[in-house]
């Protein structure tokens, strides 16, 4: 689905003057902490979601309607989906994070499509018009720090869930121990091999998985936002608004898909870890 954006972005990158900068830009500092334009958007989205939930659950009714009904529909749908993947026991522990990260990523993805993002800010005039070099608002997931923080948070929680499923000894034995109930000479012969495989698994857990979650979400959202900016620069206004409508619609779908992929990958990694406990019993 994302192949179209990468191809079009390469084609239009030479003509688009309003490309999103690679890194988020600091707007101000709170002591030594720089506050970037993507952090501001993440805070706005988080506060908006909190206010939405508070409004929908302020007066909980036995027969829900309106906003409460919508919120319950979303929560129950995500719970049923994750319960079918992780199981009824561990979904109780993992659901708060997995559901929250899906809703937050989706809200950030769709918020970044609001006109004005990455096009209003500080810059300088060029022969092709005004070029924004420091946007006031930057899509939150178009910042690798945001996606990396979510991936690292999942990694920490995954370790907690893994420990809860296996215990300290069981976790070490699962990573480095031999499989299949081997004993005797075969156990000693294959033990170095399984230790090596365990070290590779640690590299996957603490490096490959977080990096994959980080780059996948960041790259897709960043490429999509730059595609929209490139399309806006190719065709003069007001016709550019008409030609961008199909791409806006496609980006709305991509926003859902990327949020769903991030959540389902986290659920799959968790399921692969806790399934060994069930197999052991």
Q: Which pLDDT score, from 0 to 100, does residue 263 have?
A: 97
Q: Which pLDDT score, from 0 to 100, does residue 75 have?
A: 94
Q: Which pLDDT score, from 0 to 100, does residue 44 have?
A: 94
d(CA 269, CA 274): 9
Q: Which pLDDT score, from 0 to 100, does residue 279 have?
A: 44
Q: Which residues of the chain have pLDDT under 50?
A: 1-17, 277-281
Q: Which pLDDT score, from 0 to 100, does residue 186 have?
A: 65
Q: Which pLDDT score, from 0 to 100, does residue 12 have?
A: 36
Which string of DSSP letters, residue by residue, matches 6-55? HHHHHHHTTT-S-PPPSS--EEEEETTEEEEHHHHHHHHHHHHHHHHHHH
Q: Which pLDDT score, from 0 to 100, does residue 174 have?
A: 76
Q: Which of 48, 47, 49, 71 is nearest to 59 (CA)?
A: 71
């Amino acid at each position: 689905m994302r192949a179209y954006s990468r191809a079009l972005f390469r084609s239009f990158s030479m003509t688009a003057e309003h490309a999103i900068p690679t890194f988020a830009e600091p707007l101000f500092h709170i002591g030594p902490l720089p506050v970037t334009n993507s952090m501001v958007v993440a805070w706005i989205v988080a506060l908006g979601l909190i206010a939405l939930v508070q409004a929908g659950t302020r007066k909980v009714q036995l027969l829900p309607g309106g906003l409460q009904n919508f919120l319950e529909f979303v929560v129950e749908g995500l719970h049923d989906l994750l319960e079918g993947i992780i199981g009824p026991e561990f979904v109780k522990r993992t659901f708060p994070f997995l559901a929250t990260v899906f809703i937050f990523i989706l809200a950030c993805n769709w918020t970044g499509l609001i006109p004005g993002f990455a096009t209003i800010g500080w810059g300088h005039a060029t022969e092709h018009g005004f070029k924004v070099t420091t946007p006031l608002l930057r899509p939150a997931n178009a910042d690798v720090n945001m996606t990396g923080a979510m991936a690292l948070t999942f990694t920490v929680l995954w370790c907690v869930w893994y420990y809860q499923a296996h215990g300290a000894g069981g976790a070490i034995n699962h990573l480095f121990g031999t499989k299949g109930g081997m004993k005797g000479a075969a156990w000693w012969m294959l033990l170095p091999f399984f230790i090596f495989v365990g070290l590779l698994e640690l590299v996957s857990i603490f490096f490959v998985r977080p990096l994959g979650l980080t780059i996948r979400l960041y790259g897709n959202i960043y490429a999509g936002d730059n595609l929209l900016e490139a399309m806006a620069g190719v065709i003069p206004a007001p016709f550019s608004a008409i030609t961008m409508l199909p791409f806006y619609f496609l980006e709305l779908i991509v926003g859902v898909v990327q949020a769903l992929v991030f959540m389902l990958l986290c659920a799959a990694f968790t399921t692969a870890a806790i399934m060994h406990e069930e197999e052991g019993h």
